[in-house]
Amino acid sequence: MCGILAVLGFAGDSQAKRVRVLELSRRLKHRGPDWSGLYQHGDCYLAHQRLAVIDPASGDQPLLNEDGTVVVTVNGEIYNHEQLRKLLHNHKFRTGSDCDVIAHLYEEYGENFVDMLDGMFSFVLLDRRDSSFIVARDAIGITSLYIGWGLDGSVWISSELKGLHDDCEHFECFPPGHMYSSKQGGLRRWYNPPWFSESIPSIPYDPLTLRRAFENAVIKRLMTDVPFGVLLSGGLDSSLVASVTARHLASTKAAKQWGPQLHSFCVGLEGSPDLKAAREVADYLGTVHHEFHFTVQDGIDAIEDVIYHIETYDVTTIRASTPMFLMSRKIKSLGVKMVLSGEGADEIFGGYLYFHKAPNKEEFHRETCHKIKALHQYDCLRANKSTSAWGLEARVPFLDKEFINVAMSIDPKWKMAKREEGRIEKWVLRKAFDDEEHPYLPKHILYRQKEQFSDGVGYSWIDGLKEHAAQHVTDKMIENASHIYPHNTPTTKEGYYYRMIFERFFPQNSARLSVPGGPSVACSTAKAIEWDDAWSNNLDPSGRAALGVHLSAYDKHVGTINAGMVPSEIGGDVRSIMEVTAPGVAIQS
C-alpha cells in the first residue's frame, strides 16, 4: 500500500504551501517507505509515498502521460493492467507500473473509465489542460481514503486522517465505489452491481462456479515483483486463500522470481485456537510457516499506536487490529512486502454466528448487503491500516468484484445455516471446496466453526483488554459518558478507554463522526439484534456473544466468561484454551 495526499486549490505563498504539503505527506511515510514524490501545478499539489510492489525500479509516482498534461497519484494495485495496456496500443507508457494505465485510460475514455479497473485503488488525477481533477476509490473500499475542505475553498484528499485533519474545516470518509469530479461538482457512484439494490437473488447454487470464481480471484492477486506470503489463522477463509495460492503458485511469474514454496504467517497468544489450527493447515499445504506469539501485555502496550494508525475507536476493530498490527511488523522484518488475507467472506456468506438466527432468507440477504457496504469502516479499515503501518500490503481475494457478483447472485436460502440438514455457517463456500479426489483442506478444518480474529488469537486477549480498561475508567466516568461524548457514547469501560485515546490524537468533530457506531452483537448490524430477544442484553462484538450458537459462548446468566464458569451445554475444557499465560514475543519459522 502507498500513501497519497492531494491538495487542490491551495492558494497563497506557493513555497510555504509546498513545505506544508511535504510535511503532511511525511505523516503517511509508513504506508510507502520506498520513495516520496510531489508534483505541483499552480495551486494543486499531488504527493505520494510509495510502497514498491510492481516495477520497483521505475514506477515512482506521481505518474504522467506522454506529454505531461495528465498527472496521477495512486494507492493500490490494478490486476488487469496488462489487458488494459492492450486496449491502449496507441499510447506510450513511461513505466511498467500497473497504475500507469490510469492516466492513459482517462485520455482515451474521459472520466468514465473507472469501472474498467479491476483491483483495489484510490487515486487523484489532475488534468493540467483545464486544471480539473477527479478522485476515485475502489468498489468496496479496500484502500482507505478521506476527503476534506479548507476554509480557503481547497479540496483535500488523503489516504489517512492524519494527512488532513489539522488543516481542514470539515473532513469525512470518501465513500467506496464513488468518484469526485471537479467538472461535475460533486460525488457520484461508479460502482453499481446487481446486488447493491438488495433485491433477493434466485440463481441456484453451483459449487463449481463459485470455486472457479474464487480461484480466479486468488490467481490474479499473485501479481508481484517482491516477496509475498499469506496470512493464515487456520480458519476457513484464510485457509482457503492459502490452499488456492499454494495450488497455483508454481505456474506464476512470482514463483519464478521467489521460488514455488509459499510462506504463511500466523499470530496468537501461546496455546490459542488459531496457532494450533494454522500450524495444522500449514503442515497439510507444505508452506514455510512463521508463527508469532504475543502476550496480552504486548497488545495492551501497543493500543495507542494501533489507534493512531487505524484511526478508529470502534471496539471490534481495535481488538482485531492489535494482533494484526504486531504480526505485520514481524512479517515486514522478514523482507516480505505483500500478503494475501481472508477478509470479506463472512460478510458475503453470512459467516458471523449471529446469522444462524436470521428469520428468513430475505433478512439474511439484506444483512449481507449491509455488511459488505460497511466493510470499509471495519475489516477493510483494519486489514489496510494495520498492515500499512509497517509498509506491508494486504490483498483480499474474497472482495474481488467478479467473485462478489457470483456469490451475491446465489439464492440466499443456500447460504443459511440449517443444523437439521448438517449445514453450518458458510456452508456454500465449504461445499464448493469439498473435493474428495483432490482435497483443498482437511475436513475438520474445512468445517471448523467461525472464530472472529480477535477471539481466535486467544480468548484471554479480549478478557485482558476489558480488565485493563476497568483499571483506567471509573464507574463515574461511564455514568457521565453521554455528557463528555454525546456522539457514539461509549457504553463500556473498554469503549471509553479507546475513545479517550482516539480523541487525544484526533480531537476534531469530523474525526469522531468518521467512526461508525450503534449497538452490535457478535459484529451484527443494529437491525439484526432484533432477531433474538436475548441479544439486546448482551451487546458485545465478540463471536462468543452469539448465545446458543458459539461453542464457547458467554454464560447466559452472567453475560461474560468468568474463570472456571463454563456453560453446562458446552462440551470440552474451554477454559484450558482461555487461561494460557503467554511468554514474551517469539518467532518460530
Catalytic positions, written as ranges? 2
Using DSSP's 3-state secondary structure scheme, residue 515 falls into coil
Helix 379-388 vs helix 296-310: crossing angle, to nearest 10: 100
Whether residue 8 is annotated as binding a ligand: the answer is: no
CA distances from 253 to 227, 288, 331, 341 (A): 12, 19, 22, 20
Half-sphere exposure (Cβ direction) of 487: Cα atoms closer than 13 Å: 12
One-letter identity of residue 255: A
Helices and strands counted in the chain (H then E): 22, 18
How far the first Cα of the chain sits from its last, in Å, is 25
Query: Contacts from 528-531 at CB under 8 Å and sequence distance 24+?
Result: 528/354, 528/357, 528/358, 528/363, 528/367, 531/354, 531/357, 531/358, 531/359, 531/363
| Torsion angle (degrees, nearest 10) of CA 474, 476, 482, 486 | -50
Spatial separation of the C-alpha atoms in residues 443 and 76, rounded to whole Å? 36
Name 277's Cβ contacts closer than 8 Å, sequence gap at least 6.
Answer: 233, 234, 235, 239, 445, 448, 456
**Which among 340, 317, 526, 350 is positioned nearest to 425, based on CA atoms?**
350
The set of cell numbers assigned to 523 is 459484529
Cβ-based burial of 444 (10 A; exposed 0-12, middle 13-18, buried ≥19)? exposed
* 127 marked as binding residue: no
State yes or no: 264 annotated in a binding site. Answer: no
Binding site annotation covers 542?
Answer: no
Whole-Å CA distances, 133 to 15, 37, 103, 181, 306? 22, 18, 12, 6, 33
Q: Give helix 315-333 / helix 379-388 axis angle, nearest 10°.
A: 30
- Residue ranges for the binding site? 98, 231, 267, 341-342
- Residue ranges for the binding site for ATP? 231, 267, 341-342
